Amino acid sequence: MLANDVARYSRQDADPVPGVRRRWVAYWQFAVAALTAEALSVAHAQDIEPRAYSNAPVGVNFLIAGYAYTEGAVPFDASLPVKNAQLKTSSGVLAYARVIDLGGMSGKFDAIVPYTMLSGTAEVLGQPIERNVDGFADPRFRLSVNFFGSPALTLKEFKDYEQDLIIGASLQVSVPAGQYDNSRVVNIGTNRWSFKPEVGVSQAIGPWTLEFQAAATLFTDNKDFYGGNTRAQDPIYSLQGHAIYGFCSGIWGSLDSTYFTGGRTTINDVRSNDLQQNWRIGGTLAFPVDVHNSVKLYVSSGVSARTDNNYDLIGIAWQYRWGAGL
């Protein structure tokens, strides 16, 4: 019945009833949750992630499988002491998320496990190097909660939900379990913990949704950096903005941008001149296949980078959802 009703509304060129249209579009839009963008990004300080705080029915589970390709400078850690990096990565991603009830507020837990193949060349201390490696990147875990405008709802209740203003927050933890070789500068894993608190605002205006997010990524020290050195890094502060348009059929697209700054490093108490000030832009297109499956396409590119670490990314993700009576 749900699929038939959605199909019926999507065949109409004009809005049947604006409130009904927005409720059904919202129902379909949660099928391609923001976790896919997060999963496809190999550099989590540079994430571009639309719909990070959208609402969804409690008890729904998401399984995401994705692929991302990047080309350019070092996408894993922009402050590494390398120059003229020309690296290519191919990343496969498996992720899981579940919508939960946190004291009457909608929340979400997700886990992301990427596997990456990296190849290319760079200069370290003026000497050319070549790197070919594959392995798991650092897994990431996140808990988010929408504490305004996004109540915890059952699937039946969610049919009548219409978004207005949502305010939420999240905390992501990256675990140092990825591939790491202390005799190499460029690795897939980072050999350190990171913590990323974030706040986000999402405002629906007709078929449009405007979103803004602010975050800080904090790092523990890497005490086995490149031959046993100790490497510390200042926090990276980031801002994101998204303009999202939802179509009657449940397809949605967004124009995305992010700016981040900070991240200056210290190696054995010697300060480096590697302050980051970077802009990235991108686009996202997501569409449902049926009530359980959806697909998402995602691209982004560096606009400017103080540390010359721009790269291009293209990705695709498939998502399957179940639970809560679907």
Q: Higher confidence at residue 14 or residue 256?
A: 256
Q: What is the pLDDT of residue 12?
A: 37
Closest of 280, 265, 206 to residue 47, by C-alpha: 280
Q: What is the pLDDT of residue 273?
A: 85
Q: What is the pLDDT of residue 325?
A: 84
Tell me the per-residue pLDDT of 142-198, one tens digit each, with 9 for 90 and over. Answer: 999 999 999 999 999 998 999 999 999 999 999 999 999 999 888 899 999 999 999
Q: Which two tokens stand for residue 90?
A: 């191919």
Q: What sections of 13-161 are H helices per DSSP?
A: 18-29, 35-40, 155-158
The number of residues in the chain equals 326
Is the pLDDT at 293 greater than 90? The verdict is: yes
Q: What is the pLDDT of residue 173?
A: 97
Q: What is the pLDDT of residue 24?
A: 44
For 241-293, what is the HEC assignment? Answer: EEEEEECCCCCEEEEEEEEEEECCEEECCEECCCCEEEEEEEEEEEEECCCCE
Q: Which two tokens stand for residue 81?
A: 């002491």
**Considering the chain, what percentage of its residues have pLDDT values greater than 70?**
83
CA 299 to chain centre: 12
Q: How far apart are CA 266 and CA 244, in angstroms?
A: 39
Name the pLDDT band for 7 (thresholds 50, 70, 90): very low
Q: At what angle do helices 2-10 and 18-29 cross, to 10 degrees?
A: 120
Q: How far apart are CA 245 and CA 194, in angstroms?
A: 33
Q: Which domains does the chain have, with CATH numbers?
A: 2-322 (2.40.128.130)
Residue 45 DSSP one-character state: G
Closest of 235, 234, 282, 238 to residue 259, by C-alpha: 238
3-state helix, strand, coil in the chain (%, to 5): 10, 55, 35
Q: What is the pLDDT of residue 78?
A: 59
Q: What is the pLDDT of residue 36?
A: 52
Cβ neighbours for 60, distance < 8 A, ≥ 6 positions apart: 30, 98, 99, 155, 321, 322, 323, 324, 326
Is the pLDDT at 117 greater than 90? The verdict is: yes
Q: Which two tokens stand for residue 11?
A: 């065949």
Is the pLDDT at 291 greater than 90? The verdict is: no
Q: Tell me whether residue 203 is exposed, middle or buried, using C-beta atoms within 10 angstroms of its C-beta: 0 to 12, 13 to 18, 19 or more.
A: middle
Q: What is the pLDDT of residue 17?
A: 41
Is the pLDDT at 32 greater than 70? The verdict is: no
Tell me the per-residue pLDDT of 64-97, one tens digit each, with 9 for 90 and over. Answer: 999 999 988 765 565 666 777 788 999 999 999 9
Q: Are 210 and 246 in contact (CB under 8 A)?
A: no
Q: Which two tokens stand for residue 223?
A: 């005490």
Q: Higher confidence at residue 36 or residue 319?
A: 319
